[in-house]
Structure 1
Amino acid sequence: MYDVVIPACNEEKSILAALATVLKLPLRYIILVLNGCTDRTLELTRSIPDSRIHTIYFAEPLGIDIPRAIGALYARKLNSKGVLFLDGDISGDILYNLEKLLSALDQGVDMGLTNCYPYITHRINLVHLVLRFRANLNKEIGLFHTLGLATPTHGPHVLSAKALESIPPEGIAIPPLSLVWASKLGLSAQVAISLRHQDLKSPRKERKHARLIAETIIGDCVMGFALAHDEPLTRSLGKHQLLGYHPERRFDILKLWDEALEISHPFCEQHLIIPYQREMD
């Protein structure tokens, strides 16, 4: 059986819908990574009497994508056979799609992705720019013919136990880097499902957030190009520093979490909520 990692920050409007979907899947553990929540997200998740739910709770925000890596490390510690990643703000009826993603793991895929832009020919300029960088990175690492525009940055996806073990935590915390690592390590990657972005039913974000997300993704891709050529990682493109939300990523906490898991440090226990105190496998 596989596991799921669900990062969430202030997702009281959608977290129960996301959980209702994954609870229907044949999963071993449901790993919630709650960070910086000031709403009822934690309260709502704790109202569900399911012993499979393990909650990792940080009072402070961890920044974009760091919670995903936190959950991945915990799943690895639990000897996961494979992990499904699903954001806590996704409330769409996508059970069938998630089943197909898990099936990709059954078929031996190391990284199964979602194509969130099928059949779309007209896009706003900002989206077009982001997709161009995503496409160019996939071309650079020789995966465009297989993945097209797909990336673990966007949409539900899965990683095999081999990928969890092989890809550095920082690579999972900067999603385009995980693609580069997959290419370098000879891991199999493919598009497992196609699902329109609007079908995820994640809430619409305001314009400033969209701009910062776009800058974050483009900067991540620039780092991906550097990694692909074994050059020092940079977010500089010409005279521009493409930071976006990158400075808010708490790599210090990710490093501490990784080290603490290795030695069963109390730091982990301080942030874990495990129903009935089930022991790690």
Structure 2
Amino acid sequence: MYDVVIPVYNEEKSILAVLATVLELPLRYIILVLNGCTDRTLELTRSVPDSRIHTIYFSEPLGIDVPRAVGALYARKMNSEGVLFVDGDMSGNIFKNLEELLAALDQEVDVALTNCYPYITDRANLAQLVSRFRANLNKELGLFQALGLATPTHGPHALSVKALEMIPPEGIAIPPLSLVWAAKLGLKTQVATSIRHQSLKSPRKHRKHARLIAETIIGDCIMGFALAHDEPLTRSLGKHQLLGYHPERRFDILNLWNESLAVSHPFCEQHLIIPYRIVIPQSHLSPETDPFEI
């Protein structure tokens, strides 16, 4: 069976709807990665009586996309057969889309994506610029005909067990790099479902956030071009550094999490909340590990 990873940052308004959707899927574990939450998100998730829910809790924000990689590493440690990724604010009616992503894993797709722009519509200048970089990266990888603008940056998606094992954590934490690694490694990448961006029901953010997200995605794509050509990774475009939210990504914590999972370090146990009476095999965590609640 497959698992789902749900990154969550202050999603008290949407997390129960997201959980209601994924709990209907035939999943082994629902892996929540709560990072820097200051609202009632943890309280609400703890109120759901389902033994499949495993929560990874960090009091500090991990930055954009890093929680996804944290959850992927945990799923890999737990011998996952494949992982579905759904953000904690995707409260729309996307059950059928998630089923289609899981079905793609059944069909031996390694990187299953969602096309969030299935129809050509008028877009703001900033969105057009971001789309151009996405398109150019997919063209560079020889994937544009198959993927169009689809990318792990946007919308729910899924990785096979092979992709989990082969794509480095930093590649998952910088989504366009996942596509580059998939192309380099010969992994099968495919659009598995389509849904309008508006149907995800992710809340609208302020203009500053839109600008920073655009800078983040463009900078990520620039890094993707460099990786594709085996050049030093850079976010520079001429004289400009496209940083966006990138400096807030806590790669230090991601690396420590990865190391602690490998050697059963207490750092892992301190941030893991697993259901009471659920027995974790000793091959996964240290022999002293007990389920605990907060």
TM-score, normalisation: structure 1:
0.99
Secondary structure (helix, strand or coil) at the match of 2:57 reads strand
- 1:202 matched to 2:202: yes
Give the match for residue 246 of structure 2. 246
**Superposition map of 1:66-145 within 5 A:** 66-145=66-145
Partners of 1:278 and 1:117 lie apart in 2 by 43
Q: Deviations over 1:23-54 (max 9, x none)?
A: 00000000000000000000000000100000
The amino acid of 1:90's aligned partner reads M
**Counterpart-to-counterpart distance in 2, 1:146 and 1:255:** 33
The amino acid across from 2:84 in the alignment is: L
Partner of residue 262, structure 1: 262
- Distance in 2 (alpha carbons) for counterparts of 1:221 and 1:72: 21
Name 1:225's counterpart in structure 2. Answer: 225
DSSP 3-state at the match of 2:226: helix
By how many angstroms is 1:180 displaced?
A: 0.1
Identity over aligned pairs, percent? 83
Q: Secondary structure at the match of 2:112?
A: strand
The alignment status of 1:159 with 2:159, answered yes or no, reads: yes
Which residue identity does 2:12 align to in structure 1?
Answer: E
**Superposed displacement of residue 116, structure 1:** 0.3
Distance between the aligned counterparts of 1:278 and 1:152, measured in 2?
Answer: 33
* CA distance in structure 2 between the aligned counterparts of 1:215 and 1:41, rounded to whole angstroms: 28
Shift of the alpha carbon at 1:121? 2.9
- State the partner residue of 2:234: 234
Structure 2 gaps, min length 5:
285-294
Match of 1:29 in 2: 29
d(CA) in 2 for partners of 1:20 and 1:48? 9
Structure 1 residue ranges (4+ consecutive) displaced by more than 6 angstroms after TM superposition: none
Q: Secondary structure at the match of 2:134?
A: helix
1:122 CA displacement: 1.2
Q: What letter is aligned with 1:171?
A: G
CA RMSD, 1 decimal: 0.7
| Aligned-partner residue type, residue 165 of structure 1 | E
Residue deviations 1:195-237 (CA, integer Å, cap 9, x gap): 0000000000110000000000000000000000000000000
Instruction: Tell me how many residue pairs correspond in the alignment.
Output: 281
Structure 2 length as normaliser, TM-score?
0.95
- Per the TM alignment, residue 22 of structure 1 is displaced from its structure 2 partner at its CA by 0.2
How far apart, CA to CA, are the structure 1 residues paired with 2:17 and 2:238?
43
Q: What is the CA distance between 1:278 and its match in structure 2?
A: 2.8
| 1:145 Cα deviation after fit | 1.1
For 1:111 and 1:241, locate their aligned partners in 2 and report how far apart those are by CA, in whole Å: 29
